[in-house]
Amino acid sequence: LSRPLGNQIPGVVLLSILGKLTLGGRVGPRWAAGVYLLLGGLIWAAPTSTIQDVYEIQKPVSDVGRSMLSLSGGALVSTGVFLAGLVRGLALPQCLALTFATDAALALKWALLEVSSLGGAKVGGFLWAISSLAVAALSLA
């Protein structure tokens, strides 16, 4: 992709240190949830900026590529929601329900606002949202 790799080193070092401090009990687990929510939210909300400013990719990235990067940011957000639920003391089924409800919202946004411009059918995004809501509901049953 014709991009420099050196700019990724500080992030890798920071996350490694954060992981080590968390496992050692010197940093609370809220940091893990916060990092996932912050980074995932930034990638989800600004995939073009992520491509240009963070990853410094010089080659053109297609609309599908941008959309997929945004969805990967959404996956990080869903993980952050799960971790935040655990930090708040919620039971595992509740955390799972929150995670899949978040996923359903992201899928619905994608179906309504992105998939048509990519030449796809909205039905896939709607089925994704419905199945995510079903898993969320079953998690609480």
Q: Which two tokens stand for residue 45?
A: 């909300």
For position 1, what pLDDT does the model report? 57
- Residue 51 sits at the vertex; the CA angle it makes with 116 and 129, to the nearest 5 degrees, is 35
For position 68, what pLDDT does the model report? 92
Q: Which two tokens stand for residue 3?
A: 């991009």
For position 74, what pLDDT does the model report? 95
Q: What is the pTM of this model?
A: 0.84
> Residue 108: which pLDDT band, with cuts at 50, 70 and 90?
very high
CA distances from 126 to 71, 100, 114, 130 (A): 15, 14, 12, 6
